[in-house]
Chains A and B, each alone.
Chain A
Amino acid sequence: MHKLLKDSPGEKIMLLGNEAIARGAVEAGVAFATTYPGTPSSEISLNLFQMSKESDLYFEYSTNEKVALEVAAAAANSGLRTFCMMKHVGLNVAADPLMTLSYVGVTAGMVILTADDPAMFSSQNEQDNRYYAKFGGFPMLEPSSVAEAKEMIKEAFELSESLKQPVILRTTTRINHSNAFVAFGEMKERKTRGRFEKDPMRCVTVPAVSRGLHVKLLERLDSATGLAEKSDFNFVQGDGPLGIIANGVSFHYAEDAVKDLGIEDKTRILRLGFTNPMPAGLIKDFLKDCEKVLVVEEGEPFMEEAVKAFAQEAGITIPIQGKSADLFSRLYEYDPAMVREKIAAFFGFDYTPVNKIDTSDIPEIANRPPNLCSGCSHRATFYAVQKAAEGMDIICPNDIGCYTLGFMPPLSTGDFVICMGSSVSSSCGFGRATDQKVVSFIGDSTFFHSGITGLVNAVFNKHNFTLVILENGITAMTGHQPHPGVDMEQMGMPGYGRVDIEQLVRALGVEHVSVIKPFKVKKSMETIREALAFDGVSVIISKEPCILWAKSMKLKKVRPFEVTDKCTDHKECINGIACPSFYIEAGRVKIDANTCVGCALCAQICPDNAIRPLKQ
C-alpha cells in the first residue's frame, strides 16, 4: 500500500513537504485532483497519481494548468472535494478561468495550490503569486513548515467549503522540498460521486449574472476577513515593543534570529498564515503595542504595503519597514543569517556575523553545468538541424523542458524562451518580422500543453517556419510524468487513450509533415533540409524515447561504445555534440563506458570511423 494511504493516526514519519501536502489532502477526503507537472510542485501530483491507482481517488495529469483548473472547477461544483496544483508560472496559464471561478465559487471544498520558486531553482521567473489571491479575491493560506503544510491544507478545504469559494494554498520551494517528521492524522471519508445542481444564475457568467456575482464575491471576502481575524494561523508570539511581521519560511528565520540574538523579551512576532484577505483588525492591534515594526517576507512587499495602509487608517505613525536598499530585497530567497543581520540592524542590536572563510585564494574549480544526458535524443536532433541548416541564417525559438539546455554550446540551439508553448507562437512572429529562417523546438508534453494553439495560428495565418516536435514519449524534465501522447499500455496502465502527434499535426492542416529517427543522422539531415526548404509551416516530428526513461523501464539495451586507435585526434565529436560521456585522457578522446548508452551519434559523425561498439 502507498505509504501515504496508511490509516494509522499518530504514526510519525519523515515526509517531503510535497508528500505532506498530498497526505493532508487525502486526510481531508480529497476525491478529485488535477495538475500539470511543474517543479517545485511535481511530487504532490506524483504521490496523488500513485495513490489514485490504489484507491477511489480520481487523479489526472491534464494537458495544461488552464485545463486542469477547468476540470477541477467542474468537480468542485458537483460536490467533490477537489485539489488542483501547479507551479507558480502555471497559475498564469490558468489565470483566465481562475479570475471567473472566484465569482462562480464551488459547492464542495476546493484548494488551488501554487508552488512559488523564490531564487528560481527551476523556473524562468520568481513571481509572487500572493497577488493572484488578492487579484482574484481568493482566501489564501501560507504554511511556514512541512508539518504545518499538512494541517493547513485540511483547514483550506474546510474554509473553502464554508465560504463556497476556492482557497489558494501558497507554498515556496523551501516548503515543497524540505523534509521533516510529520504525524499522520485521521482520514476523512472520501465522497467520490457528486451531482451537479443546475444554477445558471451562479454558473453561467453572462454579464447580467456576473454583475451580481461580483457583489457576492465581495461579500464572501468580507466573511473571509472575519475568519482571518480569528484564524489560528495568524498568531502573536513573544512580548515586547519591537514588532516583526512574517509569513512562510521567513517566520522561522525570524523566530531563530530572535532567539540567537537573545532578544526574546523585547520582541513580538506576528506570524501571518492566513494572508488574504489581510486581518486588518489583528494587525492594527499588533501595531498599537509596537514601537517599531519590521516586515519579513520573501518576494514582493505584499504584507508590508497592507500593514502600512492599516497603520495609516489607525493613525499609527511608528516606523514600519521591510523592503528597502539597506533592509530586505525583493530578489531571491532569504536565509537565516541574512534575516538575523537585518533584524539586528533595524532594531539596533549588536551582531557579529560568523567569521566566514576567506575564499579568495581557493583554487579554481570548473563549473558543473547541467547537460543533456548521455544518449539524449535531443542532442542528436539539435546536431542534425544545425548541420542541415549550415550556412543559413537561422533563429531557433526553444521551449520549456530538458531541451532548453540545447541553448548551451556547442549545440547552441535556443535563442528565445519565455514560457511553455512560446516557441511555436514566437516563431510566427519571427517568421513574419524577419527574413531569417526560423526553426523552433518543442517537446511532446509541451506541445500538448500549449504548442497546439500556436500551430493552429500558424496554419491559419500562413506563417513561415519549421517546427521540430521532440517526441520522446514522456514529460522528462519534471521526472517522467505521462502526457496525452504516451503509450500508457506500455507502462502497464490500461484505461487511457492516446493522441498521435503526427495524425494531429496533419489534421491541423500542416502541409509539410515529416518524421525522423534522430539517431539516423544522415537520413534525418536529408529530411530536415527538405522541411527547411518548404515555404510555409513545416513540422518535423523527431521520435526517440527519453533514454533515462527507456533505461528505467528496461526498454533499451545499453551497449557502450569506445574510441579505437583509428582516431586522429581532431576532436570533432567533442566539439560537435558535447556528450557528457566523453573525456580526454593524455590528450586522447575517450568514452566513459559506465555512462555511455550506445546511441551511436558520435560514431556516425566521426570522420575517421574510429568510434565502435565496445567489445565485451
Chain B
Amino acid sequence: MKTTRLIIVAVGGQGNLLASKVLGEAALIEGVEVRMSEIHGMAQRGGVVESAIVFGNATSSIISDGEADILLGFEPAETLRAIGRCSADTKVVTNTATLPPFTVGIGKGAYPEVEEIKRVLKEKTAGLVAIDAMALAKEAGSPMSVNIVLLGALIQTNALGFSKESVIEAIRRRTKPAFLDMNLKAFELGFEAAANSVV
C-alpha cells in the first residue's frame, strides 16, 4: 500500500493523542499498517503536542520536514507553525478557533489574523479545509469533542482513504461509553462541515 503521512498538531489538552489512537484503530479495521510517534515533552504545561502517523508500508514512525501528505491542525496558529512539514502537495485541515498562547494574551507577541493564516495555508498547499471545530464541538455537547469534530473533517477529505464506517467503529472502541453519543454527533458535524468548507 502507498504510504500516507499525517501530522497532527495541537495544544496540550486538546485531545490530540486520543484522535491519533482512533485513527490507529481505524487503520486496524481497514487492515492498514500504522506507526505513530508523539512528542509531548511539557505539553501539560501549555506546550505544543505533535503526533506523526505513518500509514502503509514504510517502517519509520516519524515524518521529515516537507514530507507530510496531510496536516491536521487543532489550532490555527499551530497549523501555520507546522507548515514546514508540508509540501505543495499537502492537504491541510484546520480548526479556526484560536487558543492564543499566553505570550499573546499579555501583549508580548503577535497572533496572526485567522483570515491571513487561511490565505497562506491555501496558497502554499494543495488544499485547505478550515472549520470552526470549537463551535461544532459545543453544538455536539462539549468543547472536549473538538478532536472528534476534526476527525470528521479529516475523513470527509478522504485523504486517508478510510471509510466513514471504520472510523465510527474506531470511535466506538476508543472513547468512553459515557461520551459516545456526543462523540458520534461531533464526528458527524465535522464531517458535514468539511464538505462545505473547502476554501
Contact = CB atoms under 8 A, between A and B. Distances in A.
Interface of A: 12, 14, 39, 121-122, 145-146, 173-174, 177-181, 249, 252-253, 255-256, 259, 335-338, 353-359, 362-373, 402, 405, 548, 571, 574, 578, 580, 582-584
A39 B107 CA distance: 33
10 contacts: A179-B20, A179-B38, A256-B60, A337-B67, A356-B84, A362-B80, A363-B120, A368-B78, A369-B46, A369-B47
A368 B11 contact: yes
B110 A335 contact: no
Interface string B121-137: 00011000000000000
Given A122-B41, A371-B45, A582 B60 contact: no
Contacts of A39: 41
A580 B11 CA distance: 14
B36 A366 contact: no
Contact of B87 (A252, A356, A365): A356
B21 A179 contact: yes
Contact of B103 (A14, A362, A368): A368
Interface string B52-84: 000000111111111100000000011011011
Contacts of B195: none
Nearest to A12: B28
Contacts of B36: 178-180
A363 B110 CA distance: 9
Contacts of B78: 368
B59 A178 contact: no
A358 B123 CA distance: 11
A335 B64 contact: yes
A582 B46 contact: no
B164 interface: no
B73 to A, nearest CB: 12
Contacts of A180: 34-36, 61
Most chain A CB neighbours (cut-off 10 Å) among B36, B41, B117: B41
A370 B86 CA distance: 25
B114 to A, nearest CB: 11
Closest 9 CB pairs of A and B: A366-B109, A337-B64, A583-B105, A370-B42, A356-B66, A363-B112, A252-B59, A368-B101, A179-B36
B162 interface: no
Most chain B CB neighbours (cut-off 10 Å) among A178, A366, A574, A578: A366
B21 A363 contact: no
B44 to A, nearest CB: 7
Interface footprint category on B: 35 or more
Contacts of B65: 335, 337, 356
Contacts of B47: 368-370
Contacts of B61: 145, 174, 178, 180, 249, 252
A420 B109 CA distance: 33
Contact of A178 (B37, B58, B66, B103): B37
B34 A181 contact: yes
Most chain A CB neighbours (cut-off 10 Å) among B39, B62, B108, B124: B62
A177 B62 CA distance: 11
Given A354-B87, A365-B110, 11 more contacts: A178-B37, A178-B61, A253-B60, A256-B59, A335-B63, A362-B80, A366-B100, A366-B111, A367-B101, A369-B103, A371-B46
A550 B42 CA distance: 19
Contacts of A181: 24, 28, 34
B84 A359 contact: yes
B148 to A, nearest CB: 18
B111 A365 contact: yes
B80 A256 contact: no
Contacts of B21: 14, 179
Given A177-B37, A181-B28, A583 B106 contact: yes
A373 B46 CA distance: 8
A466 B116 CA distance: 51
A121 B77 contact: no
A121 B39 contact: yes
Contacts of A366: 77, 100-101, 103-104, 108-111
B188 interface: no
Most chain A CB neighbours (cut-off 10 Å) among B35, B105, B120: B105
B60 A177 contact: no
Contacts of B44: 373, 548
A177 B28 contact: no
A511 B55 CA distance: 62
B97 interface: no
Contacts of A357: 66, 83-84, 86-88, 124-125
Contacts of B58: 256, 259, 336
B80 A363 contact: yes
A508 B82 CA distance: 52
A174 B46 contact: no
A518 to B, nearest CB: 18
Contact of A584 (B37, B87, B107): B107
A350 to B, nearest CB: 18
A171 to B, nearest CB: 13
Contact of B117 (A255, A355, A363, A574): A363
B168 interface: no
Nearest to A259: B58
A604 B108 CA distance: 24
Interface string B13-36: 000000011001100100000111
A358 B58 CA distance: 27
A122 B105 contact: no
Contact of B66 (A177, A253, A355): A355
B135 to A, nearest CB: 16
B70 to A, nearest CB: 14
Most chain A CB neighbours (cut-off 10 Å) among B24, B42, B83, B108: B42
A359 B107 CA distance: 24
Contacts of A578: 102, 106
A359 B47 CA distance: 22
Contacts of B113: 363
Contacts of A362: 80, 83, 120
Given A179-B35, A256-B59, A370-B47, A354 B67 contact: yes
A584 B102 CA distance: 10
Nearest to A410: B106
Contact of B45 (A353, A372, A583, A584): A372
